[in-house]
Amino acid sequence: MRLNKFLSNSGVASRRKSDDLISQGKVRVNGKTVTEFGTIINEKKDKVEVEGKAVCLPSSFVYIKLNKPKGYACTANDEKGRKTIYELVKCEERLFSVGRLDYDTEGLIILTNDGDFANKIAHPKYAIEKEYKVNIEGEIKESELAVMRKGAVVEGEKMPSAKVKFLSYENGITKLSVVIDEGQNRQVRRMFEAIGKDIKQLKRIRIGGVKLGGIKRGDYRDLTPEELDMLVRGK
Ligand code: URA
């Protein structure tokens, strides 16, 4: 197996970032530093270390969908000591999330120990749709929706265009559906900030063909083979 694929499958980094680690001399195979991109290893026998830490492939792959509640961080060790999504999932394997949600965002998160899969699905090239339900206070004008559909400008930077649909207005709250196919940091919140609106509730309800469905807040379950297949095929 190529060394960069081994590192990606093990969850160290994407293949491209693994190549950077290799060229920076941070990877050792059987005690020797390797700097060649194309290095081939025997994944059953060779001992691989990254910055002195042993790296191994997971024994079997796990794919989970979690309904993340608001008030949980998506990092394994939160620097502010906040609760993390990893406290919600009982799993012996070292899991990582496919993309992240903000601390205050709730909804669908996919967790896996398959690094190659996670890196692939999160890659902008795959452009997998992410759908959010957004609640804001007050009404929204058609012209404001048009700005977000075209790509709002945030601090001089043009955001990618988004599919934005008005759903309802009731008791002073506007509900919208927002679909994006990139996953820039705080992308949906920044789009609304650009039109001067503060998001009251942000919930991800779909990633590609995988829907959050009826999973309760804080609960999770395995992806079905069909759901996994849709993601792998970029759907
Ligand atoms: N966009 C955001 O602004 N926050 C999220 O958590 C996800 C998408």
Ligand 1 contact, 97 CB (< 6 A): no
Cα separation of 44 and 25, whole Å? Answer: 22
Tally of residues, the chain: 235
Q: Mean pLDDT over all residues of the chain?
A: 93
| For residues 66-90, average pLDDT | 94
User: Cβ–Cβ contacts within 10 Å for residue 14, how many?
Assistant: 18
Which residues are marked as active site? 102
Q: Ligand 1 centre from 188 Cα, in Å?
A: 5
More confident residue, 13 or 218: 218
Q: Is the Cα torsion angle 140, 143, 144, 146 positive or negative in sign?
A: positive
Q: Ligand 1 centre from 110 Cα, in Å?
A: 15
Cα separation of 122 and 133, whole Å? Answer: 20
11: confidence class by pLDDT, cuts 50, 70, 90: confident
pLDDT at res. 121: 86
Picking from 212, 235, 225, the residue whose alpha carbon sits closest to that of residue 67 is: 212
Counting atoms of ligand 1 from 1, which one is nearest the CA of 186?
Answer: 3
pLDDT digits (tens, 9 = 90+) for 80-138: 999 999 999 998 888 989 989 999 999 999 999 998 888 888 887 888 999 999 999 99
Opening angle at CA 131, ends 12 and 70, nearest 5: 70
Ligand 1 contact, 188 CB (< 6 A): yes
Q: What pTM was estimated for this model as a whole? A: 0.85
Counting atoms of ligand 1 from 1, which one is nearest the CA of 180?
Answer: 8
Picking from 36, 37, 105, 97, the residue whose alpha carbon sits closest to that of residue 68 is: 105
227: confidence class by pLDDT, cuts 50, 70, 90: very high
Q: Ligand 1 centre from 102 Cα, in Å?
A: 6
Counting atoms of ligand 1 from 1, which one is nearest the CA of 191?
Answer: 3
Cα separation of 95 and 224, whole Å? Answer: 18
Which amino acid residue places its CA nearest to atom 4 of ligand 1?
186
| For residues 143-153, average pLDDT | 94
Query: Using DSSP, how many helices (H) and how many strands (E) does the chain show?
Result: 6, 15
Cα separation of 88 and 108, whole Å? Answer: 13
By the 10 Å C-beta count (0-12 exposed, 13-18 middle, 19+ buried), 190 is classed as middle
**Does residue 130 sit in helix, strand or coil?**
strand
Q: Ligand 1 centre from 150 Cα, in Å?
A: 18
Q: Ligand 1 centre from 146 Cα, in Å?
A: 20
pLDDT at res. 69: 98
Instruction: Check if the beta carbon of residue 27 is closer than 8 Å to that of residue 33.
Output: yes
Ligand 1 contact, 189 CB (< 6 A): yes
pLDDT digits (tens, 9 = 90+) for 15-60: 889 999 999 999 999 999 999 988 999 998 999 999 999 998 988 8
Structure-block tokens of residue 193:
């900030």
pLDDT at res. 120: 83
| For residues 125-154, average pLDDT | 94
Q: Tokens 């194309």 label which residue? A: 38
Ligand 1 pocket test, pick from 189, 204, 206, 207 with the greatest ligand atom count within 8 Å of Cβ, gives 189
pLDDT at res. 233: 84
User: Burial code of 156-181, b = ≥16 C-beta within 10 A, e = fewer?
Assistant: eeebeebebeeeeeeeeebbbebebe
Ligand 1 contact, 187 CB (< 6 A): yes
